[in-house]
Structure 1
Amino acid sequence: MIEPTHYLSSTVKGLKPSGIRKFFDLAASMEGVISLGVGEPDFVTPWNVREASILSLEQGYTSYTANAGLLELRKEISYYLQEKTNVSYSPSEELLVTVGASQALDLALRAIVNPGDEVIVIEPSFVSYSSLISLAGGVPVSVQTSGEMEFKLQPSDLEKAITDKTKAVILCSPNNPTGTLLNKEDLEKIAAIIEKYDLLVISDEIYAELTYDDVYTSFVSIDGMVERTILVSGFSKGFAMTGWRLGYVAAQPEFLSAMLKIHQYTMMCAPSMAQYAAIEAIKNGKEDVLHMKKSYRQRRNLFVNALTEMGLTCHVPGGAFYAFPSIKETNLSSEEFAEKLLMEERVAVVPGSVFGESGEGYIRCSYASSLEQLQESLRRMQRFVQKQKAGV
């Protein structure tokens, strides 16, 4: 008998399992749980989008598409980005359709990272960034943000983390898990440092459609940043298409060409039926997106106000569908709080510590649930917090 672990990659063996998945799996095994843990819209994909996919199947469009994706879809993405960012991307040379934004991130990192290159991650951050950097042979370098500054990246902290090995910075705005939105002034300060040190940016804009009170500014809209930015986005969050697994990447031709080579060998192309659905979504889904955004904004206001009233400090997220309240006053660690809340009150949240060191003392709550579920979860959380503060 062989010992399988002896043959495993040391890099893979060193990866930590997803902390989000741990709590999701635990909650799924229990009855009566309200889950605020999964970052997924509670809306069903609009009918016209589903119908477009069904029609493509009925018409027999079940073959491979071009490696880069259907040209019609790439043209629609180009029009969409032109309207949203005021940047024109060539459908044939600067756009690639991927299997979710996650694959786009993986391709971007593998295309630019050499062994030992450092890539800066702004924490708290989505759990996959550091692992994807490691899988690409790079070294993740974390830059911490603070709740006191609403988790906004401070340019001086970014500059301190840069070394002669730094290749790129990953930005995510609106941010997962904090919901923090970087405005134009914030991005301009970051851009000045990027240019000063001749760096690249991977801009994760998967939540770009879900911003509430401020005008959304893409990093590629900042002067001089188009050529330095690999823009990653997709249809999962804003268009309620998580299960379709469809994303895209926009970048200069040289970057795009490198990513396409990897994509050709590892994935061939994104599913054709999902691409036909995405064409319909991007052409005729604006009203659906606005409807969902209006609903999320209402839930955000309800949820954050209730958290504040129960004594959990929480900044108002500018986008996405996450609240990231402090639980420090309970004297529990993030993981202790999440475990006890799940076991005692059947509410699943994600401990902030899984998103990086600066996430300790916080929890991530997704408010992409029905108002009824949110209200009930808040009642349970308030009862739990009162017990912890009373030392019961």
Structure 2
Amino acid sequence: MSTATRVTSLSPSLIRAMSVGAPPEAIDLGLGVPGWALPEPARRALEECAAREEPLGYGPIGGIPELVSAIGDYHLLGDVTSVHPVHQCHVPGDVADQVMVTAGSQAALTALFLAHVSPGQRVLVPDPGFPAYSTLARLAGGVPVPYALGPRGDLDTQTFLALLEGDVGLAVINHPGNPTGGGASLEALAAVASACRAAGAVLVSDEVYRDVHLGPRPASLRDVSTSGVVVSSVSKGWAAPGLRVGWAVGDPALLEPARLVHNAMTTSAARPSQLAATALLRNSAEVLRQTRRELIQRWSIAQTGPVAVRPVAAPAGGFYAWIPVPEWAVGDTLGFCRRVRDEGHVIVVPGTAFGAAGEGFVRVSCGGDPRLLAQGLQRMAPFWEVP
């Protein structure tokens, strides 16, 4: 398959497409972004950057040392509250080699796919799962192979391992997952990591929602294995999607070719954004406490809203409610969501945007304005109660 064919075979994300043509007064419960203010440490860092009377240079390409160090502490030491001071500019080589700073986690994923997927290779992706995984597999010339999740969207090792055969170039796990909020146990992560290592497949663990949780902090691939690559960003847990700062952490041999791809794509993450991201990570204890307070407020609204659209269960992480459609709408989830949008004036995302296994569900983002969330759920409820 040629590059031109791969590109023209791509299609726009149904997540964003649901907003196209929506009534002006529609409440958007579709896009998954934090709806509270950018945390103060990031605002202060951006102000300080703007106040400096000096040239504003590139990234740098490898990331400012302070940010690389903070990411290393977060993932390699497992401590979000103890990072190197801002004035420390030296980062040990073994840490720097394991950290790749990128322009958002999406850029990290893109660089990893393009670096490690060869034309014709199979790529394991969760179903339901974030649609970009399949898109990136095709963009790299690979063949996305969906694997089913457990009943609550949890990582099911049996179904995953059953597909880990043949020429698998890369496999993706996402926990807590988008859209289901499902998690992964330490045992499941260890089993998947061991199997991918034995099969020679690059394992990518997307953990961008790990610090958006109600209960215990979800497990990380780094808790059980040093193989594979963990991807994350400041977009969700640190409530700063507009900074476009993400990262990948893992085996330097896996990151080295991905760095070249990322540098060719976008040179580096913007320097002011890197400074702000460093401030967020340095103040993780404070910032993540605020994130959990915001999440609890919104989830309380969802759990006490109209019975017909209450979440079936609290997620392991993330701010999405994965809600079954009424029985009469199963088989036409997209049409049902369009009716909710056009007649009820609420934007939600059909489960089919996330794969075939999403039929019969809608994803509702609980991350936005709490008042609008409450209003949106009230508007949605009648569509579940009557045909």
With the length of structure 2 as denominator, give the TM-score of the two structures: 0.90
Contact 1:213 1:318 in 2 (8 A): yes
1:17-59: CA deviation from partner (whole Å, max 9, x where unpaired): 11011112333xx222111000100012123312211211221
Q: Hey, what's the Cα distance between the residues in 2 that align with 1:301 and 1:144?
A: 29
**TM-aligned CA deviation for residue 297 of structure 1:** 2.5
Structure 1 residue 277 corresponds to structure 2 residue 276: yes
Whether 1:106 and 2:110 are equivalent positions in the alignment is: yes
Q: Secondary structure at the match of 1:32?
A: coil
1:21 lines up with 2:20 in the alignment: no
Which residue in 2 is equivalent to 1:155?
A: 157
Equivalences for residues 2-151 of structure 1 within 5 A: 9-27=4-22, 30-59=23-52, 60=54, 62-84=56-78, 90-145=94-149, 149-151=151-153
Does residue 205 of structure 1 match 2:207? yes
Unmatched tracts of structure 2, length 5 or more: 81-91
Q: Counterpart of 1:244?
A: 243
Q: Mark the CA change 1:314 to 1:272 in structure 2 (over 3 Å): closer, same or farther.
A: same
| SS of 1:77 mapped into structure 2 | helix
Q: What CA deviation, in whole Å up to 9, does each residue of 1:334-366 have, x standing for no partner?
A: 111210111111111000001000001000000
| 176 and 233 in structure 1: CA distance in 2 versus 1, 3 angstrom threshold | same
Q: Which amino acid aligns with 1:65?
A: G
Q: Distance in 1 between matches of 2:210 and 2:309?
A: 30
> Which deviates the most, 237-246 or 368-377?
368-377
Q: SS state of the match for residue 150, structure 1?
A: coil
- 1:339 partner letter: R
Distance 2:32 2:309 in 1: 24
Question: Greater helix share, 1 or 2?
Answer: 1
Report the Cα distance in structure 2 between the residues aligned to 1:211 and 1:302, rounded to whole angstroms.
16
Distance 1:78 1:10 in 2: 39
Q: Who is 1:338 aligned against?
A: 337
| Residues paired across the two proteins, number | 373
% identity of equivalent residues: 28
Please give the secondary structure, in 2, of the residue aligned with 1:167. strand
Correspondence 1:219 to 2:221 = yes
Matches within 5 A, 1:282-293: 282-293=281-292
Q: 1:89 to 1:249 in 2, by over 3 A?
A: farther
Give, in whole Å, the separation in 1 of the partners of 2:379 and 2:194: 46
**CA 1:40–1:313 in structure 2 vs 1: closer, same or farther (change >3 Å)?**
closer
Superposition misfits of 4+ residues, deviation over 4 angstroms:
none
Looking at structure 2, the residues matched to 208 and 89 of structure 1 have their Cα atoms a distance apart, in angstroms, of: 26
Q: State the shift of 1:312 in Å.
A: 6.4
Q: Distance in 1 between matches of 2:64 and 2:177?
A: 29
1:195 deviates by 4.1
CA drift of 1:192 comes to 4.3
State how far apart, in whole Å, the 2-side matches of 1:82 and 1:262 are: 24
Partner Cα distance (1:266, 1:198) in 2: 26
Give the structure 2 partner of residue 4 of structure 1. none
Root-mean-square deviation (CA), in Å? 2.2
Q: Give how far 1:328 is off.
A: 4.2
Aligned 8 A contact 2:302 2:311 in 1: no
> Which SS does the other structure have where 2:35 is aligned?
coil
1:284 maps to amino acid: N
Q: Deviations over 1:224-271 (max 9, x none)?
A: x31x21111111111111111111111211112111112222221110
* TM-score normalised by L of structure 1: 0.89
Structure 1 unpaired stretches of 5+? 1-6
CA contact (8 A) 2:10 2:135 kept: yes
What CA distance in whole angstroms lies between the structure 2 residues aligned with 1:313 and 1:278? 32
Per-residue deviation at 1:157?
Answer: 1.2
CA contact (8 A) 2:297 2:370 kept: no
Q: Contact between 1:315 and 1:325, CA under 8 Å: does it hold in 2?
A: no
Paired residues of 1:304 and 1:323 also in contact (CA < 8 A): no
Task: Name the CA shift for 1:284/1:214 in 2 (closer, same or farther; >3 Å).
Answer: closer
Residue 113 of structure 1: how far off its partner (Å): 1.2
Q: 1:84 to 1:330 in 2, by over 3 A?
A: farther
Equivalent position of 2:86 in the other structure:
none
